[in-house]
Structure 1
Amino acid sequence: MRIPVLIAVLLLVSSFVVTSSTVTEHSAVSAQERYPTGPRLPSSSSDDLSPAFRSSGVPILDAPEEEKVHDVSKLDPPNRRKNKKRILVTGGAGFIGSHLVDRLMDEGNMVIVVDSLFTGKKSNLERHFSNPRFEFIRQDVIEPLYVEVDQIYHLACPASPIHYKYNPIHTLKTSFMGTYNMLGLAKRTHARFLITSTSEVYGDPLIHPQVEEYWGNVNPIGERSCYDEGKRVAETLCYDFKRQNGVDIRIARIFNTYGPRMALNDGRVVSNFVGQAIRREELTVQGTGNQTRSFCYVSDQVDGLIRLMNTEDVEGPVNIGNPTEFTIKELADVVKEVVEPRVDVTYTPLTPDDPKQRKPDITKAQSKIGWNPTVELRDGLKLMALDFKERIKNGDEGW
């Protein structure tokens, strides 16, 4: 009697092994279907994963946990899962970065944010903290990072005068070492790389409007140079990685951007004026107020960055900014009209090396990536003022 029982047990075990093998194969295929552009998931156990992949935060989908795979499929509708990417955003807790993260998450991507929180705020991202497609890493980009990604948006760098002058040496290190580390990551993972450079690379321009081919008029030893020259060397580094290592790069030269989540006291003219108007303080205009700027609303800026990242065969830097030009006096008048008409304007000495004029030529953005700004200054300022009023009421004014 023992032999038939033994045979029955062996048959049962054999059946279980075959079934388990089938589930493992199915789980691996399902995972790859749900992450078609991300790192390829092995069909064996999670022990085969590299340390870099293991630390990257990608859900490890091993058999026989079929329900785990099923849950992942519910994260987004099928039309969003189809082109999902694994995207790194440095500086993603900051002003522009957090709006970019919102768009990328809404499109169904998996997003990793790296931010030191020097100027960024976790509260800008709190709506995503419970989403399994989102990961936050608090780290300075001057330290190497080991993750697996398809695209890298490199925004990390202090951008306001108050912030970048606070520690100019660290600002330079961020521009050079931070960009070097992220380009190295792009090289290793074969990720497409986009850096947000700046209109400051043109310095105090001698041509108007500024085209991408203009080399600029920059003071290399002034107080602003840590930012201006830092971005110039970052652009150089990008092209050296492209020429020497074949890294697929994009350079966005962004012009004055404004909108909700700007730091109220960051020293930039739009945030200064809106904050002062809400508090019913005098609007402080530097110099005569005849110097000009072009102001781009943050949603337009984010749209330009995403279009640039996802357009093939774009050569050279691309200006992303609104070509409508205002004098600083005109900006003050618009802020008074939109926010608080009863405030006065006062004049203070001009900051050294402050550009006299700034206006982008966006012909390349229009023709190569199909981008045009759509938000008028008055409309954007109304939305920005609503955000500022709420934060001032709650005592959340930043620095």
Structure 2
Amino acid sequence: MKKYINNIENILDKLSIEWNRFDNKSVLITGATGMVGRAVADMIYYGCNRFGKKVNIYILTRSLKKAEALFGDKIKNNVLKKESEEKNIVQIKFIQGDVCEKMDYPKIDFIVHAAGYGDPQAFSVMPVEVMKANLTGTERMLELAKANDARIIYISTGEVYGRFNADDGYSEENIGELDFNMLRSCYPESKRAAEVFCRSYSAEYGVDFTIARLCHTYGPTMTERDSRVLSYFIRLAAAGKDIIIKSAGLQKRSICYVTDVASAIIMLLLEGKSGEPYNIASHNSQMRIYEMGEILSEIAGTKLIYENASEQEKSGYSKSDCQILNGEKIKKIGWRAFTDPVSGMRITVDDLRDINKAESIDE
């Protein structure tokens, strides 16, 4: 993960984030063993170490073993820069439990609620769990924010927009249709409902929240169960295999490298307007699925092959031909993406290749 970490370090040099807002504060991150939550935890860790801000980062996890594998080295060796002379300036602490359960938490100032099932395979085989994570889990975090007078950012998705024609991309006020007769709608419908939960807690209890609507995110922090098309392509490329595409690949998507997404989430957590949703997307990172496959097959030195999808695979596919997010709103608070798609995919493939090599040596 050397290139991923270097990418974070480079972004920290360019971001205009008020890191002092984290000083002597506590941040709870749900979903921190997933792709996006992990990157947010990493960036807060590196950023607060870099700028000398004391912060407690609480990682909510069902698996202590997995959390220790991902963050254990940071707990043991958490001073990375000479600017941070004091030991243990950033503390990472684990809380074992499920986001859907009622639990006791320490005093929390900021909540990054990133827990959930975002992979299409889960939509078809675990729809109940998908909805519970988005509904019950969000309710638990909103109750915690209410009790602690904490600020919460809810990690949502561009899929809440549903289906409609928007050549210039979906902007935050757009509303499209969702087919609630489809099993796959367990994901976008429960994400929509979770956003309404946030608004309801704000109106009734004064909870301070903002919403990040993510486009298609990718990076080496992706989990093994991530079955989204770009993650699937990347795993094949990292393994030196042909890229298999199971459709014509004409669907157009906004994509964003995970460290850029993490930087946007942190900026919104600190500076986003309360009660407002923000798309996280860059105008320069839009492409069709087959184009993603072409780039990755070139990086891997393999072929792009077309095959038919199984019925189970089809049941998890999005029916939207165009999922382009308009990122003008978040640009106004100073965010921009630093990683272009080709560079981001190359970084991801190289890091995953290194991981694969290390695992094969260990075996």
TM-score (norm 2): 0.81
Q: In the alignment, which residue of structure 2 is the partner of 1:98? A: 38
Q: Percent identity?
A: 28
In the other structure, the counterpart of 1:136 is: 94
- Distance between the aligned counterparts of 1:279 and 1:84, measured in 2? 43
Distance in 2, matches of 1:328 and 1:120, equals 31
Relative to 1, partners in 2 of residues 1:172 and 1:341: Cα closer, same or farther, differing over 3 Å?
same
Task: Pick closer, same or farther for the CA change 1:80–1:212 going to 2, 3 Å.
Answer: closer
- C-alpha distance in 2, partners of 1:312/1:211? 16
Instruction: Name the residue aligned to 2:203.
Output: 243
SS at match of 2:183: coil
Structure 1: distance between partners of 2:245 and 2:334: 35
124-133 vs 246-255, greater mean Cα deviation: 124-133
1:360 matched to 2:325? The reply is yes
Aligned equivalents of 1:164, 1:156: Cα separation in 2: 15
1:326 counterpart = 2:287: yes
For the pair 1:111 / 2:70, whether they are aligned, the reply is: no
Asked whether 1:185 is paired with 2:144, we answer yes
* Cα distance between partner residues in 1 of 2:219 and 2:152: 25
SS of 2:307's equivalent in the other structure is strand
Q: 2:214 aligns with which of 242, 251, 254?
A: 254
State the structure with bigger RCO (CA 8 A, min sep 6), 1 or 2.
Answer: 2
How far residue 386 of structure 1 moved from its aligned partner, in angstroms, is 1.6
In structure 2, what is the Cα distance between the partners aligned to 1:294 and 1:164? 21
Match of 2:82 in 1: none
C-alpha contact (below 8 Å) 1:119/1:163 kept by paired residues: no
Q: 2:161 aligns with which of 202, 213, 226?
A: 202
Relative distance call for 1:230 and 1:395 in structure 2 (3 A) is: farther
Residue matched to 1:162 = 121
Does the Cα contact within 8 Å between 1:115 and 1:156 map onto a contact in 2? no
Corresponding residue for residue 309 of structure 1:
269
How far does the alpha carbon of each residue in 1:6-63 deviate from its partner, in whole angstroms, 9 at most, with x for none? xxxxxxxxxxxxxxxxxxxxxxxxxxxxxxxxxxxxxxxxxxxxxxxxxxxxxxxxxx
Distance change >3 Å, CA 82–CA 283, structure 1 → 2: closer
Partner SS state of residue 326, structure 1? strand
Mapping of residues 284-303 of structure 1, within 5 Å: 284-303=244-263
RMSD: 2.3
Per-residue CA shift, 1:115-135, capped at 9, x if unaligned? 224997542222233366111
When normalised by structure 1's length, the TM-score is 0.74
| Worse overlay, 292-301 or 127-136 | 127-136
Q: Please tell me whether Structure 1 or Structure 2 has the larger radius of gyration of its CA atoms.
A: 1
Is the contact made by 1:146 and 1:185 (CA closer than 8 Å) also made in structure 2?
A: no
Matched residue, 1:48: none
Match of 1:366, as an amino acid? K
Query: Which consecutive residues of structure 2, in runs of 5 or more, have no partner in the other structure?
Result: 1-18, 79-87
Residue 335 of structure 1 deviates from its aligned partner by: 0.8
